Chain A
Amino acid sequence: EVQLVQSGAEVKKPGESLKISCKGSGYSFTSYWIGWVRQMPGKGLEWMGIIYPGDSDTRYSPSFQGQVTISADKSISTAYLQWSSLKASDTAMYYCARLGGMTTVTNWFDPWGQGTLVTVSS
């Protein structure tokens, strides 16, 4: 079974750093893109970026470029999303998901991780 398991909920203060994880299993981790999606409280889904763990090729949404860093460690089948200085507006649920489809322009997201809730509050 293809599965993505994310790290647990985090409570941080503004200005702190954070790295959350997404561990893949049940498939060849290096052969599929992994994406990150933000969902702010009561709001819709926003695509943040994707990474190809095979060679760490990374693409960012213009809205998130420079705000977060996406990385992966293929030796442990894990992708990461990190912030160097959190803001209250980063409070949200963050999902990772594997990309399916034959080409970049046809990709969909499946399956999804269970989500990591990040709360930033002083």
Chain B
Amino acid sequence: QSVLTQPPSVSGAPGQRVTISCTGSSSNIGAGYDVHWYQQLPGTAPKLLIYGNSNRPSGVPDRFSGSKSGTSASLAITGLQAEDEADYYCQSYDSSLSGPSYVFGTGTKVTVL
């Protein structure tokens, strides 16, 4: 069961800006743990998009940006393109009583209209 909540879907027209929220709690994002983001294109493995809250790996366009505040994080895609249509997941670390673990968000499907 995911402990990081994302909206099931977001959509936008080409060129628009969309944001995806990732809401956690005091045992994960709120505890100060980093948030990372992944893009999963249809039928492929996930790919790292943002690490350490706001850092882009080499090769990831600067249209993608990440931020974190309190118990939440956000991924923004500016200048939306057809190739951005995919599922997006946030990930963090959780130190709840059931034991330390890595946790993923529920996932958000981005549709380009």
Give the residues in chain B near A95, CB-CB below 8 Å: 45-46
User: Majority SS of interface residues in chain A?
Assistant: strand
Inter-subunit contact B33/A61 (CB<8 Å): no
Give the residues in chain A near B48, CB-CB below 8 Å: 100, 108-111
Q: How far is the CB of B109 from chain A (nearest CB, A)?
A: 11
The answer to whether residues A101 and B47 also contact, given A44-B106, A62-B101, A108-B91 and a CB cut-off of 8 A, is: no
Chain A's interface size range is: 20 to 34
Inter-subunit contact A114/B45 (CB<8 Å): yes
Chain B's interface size range is: 20 to 34
Inter-subunit contact A108/B51 (CB<8 Å): yes
Inter-subunit contact B51/A47 (CB<8 Å): no
* Complex CA distance for A107 and B2, rounded to whole angstroms: 18
Inter-subunit contact A106/B52 (CB<8 Å): yes
Inter-subunit contact A44/B102 (CB<8 Å): no
CB nearest to B37 among chain A residues: A108
